Homo-oligomer: A and B are copies of this chain.
Amino acid sequence: MVMEIYKSAEDYLETILDLTKRNGSVRSIDIANERGFSKPSVSVAMKNLRQNGYISVDADGLITLEPQGLAIAKKIYERHVVLRNWLISLGVDAKVAAEDACLIEHDLSAESFEAIRDFVTKNPS
């Protein structure tokens, strides 16, 4: 059975990567605070990610990205950065650009994303 990865899972993995970079370590409560979700919502989401091998959680509750989870997190993170920078280059406010990047970073096909990335690369703002 092929495990499908959902938008919310992608977002959680991206958030874990982001918080790891910023704070050095991540636990459920940090994700809840960062995203504005309740503790139970994050708890259940982490349980799913753990059961599917995307993350591991040590005895102290510290969350680590497993290789498969890290790969997804990096992919979404790259998309986020590229899309945000591209919108900013078109004159969109940085905060709005970041929000919109969050909303579309999951949906774009690889083909479209790569076309945008190439465009941004060739037309630096």
Contact = CB atoms under 8 A, between A and B. Distances in A.
Interface of A: 87, 90-93, 96-97, 99-100, 103-104, 107-109, 111-112, 115-116, 118-119
Contact of A96 (B92, B97, B100, B111): B111
A90 B109 contact: no
Main SS at interface, chain A: helix
A104 B92 CA distance: 17
Say how many copies of this protein the assembly contains: 2
A23 to B, nearest CB: 28
Given A96-B112, A97-B112, A109-B96, A90 B119 contact: yes
Nearest to A107: B103
B103 A108 contact: yes
Nearest to A91: B115
A100 B108 CA distance: 6
A109 B118 CA distance: 23
B104 A90 contact: no
A125 to B, nearest CB: 12
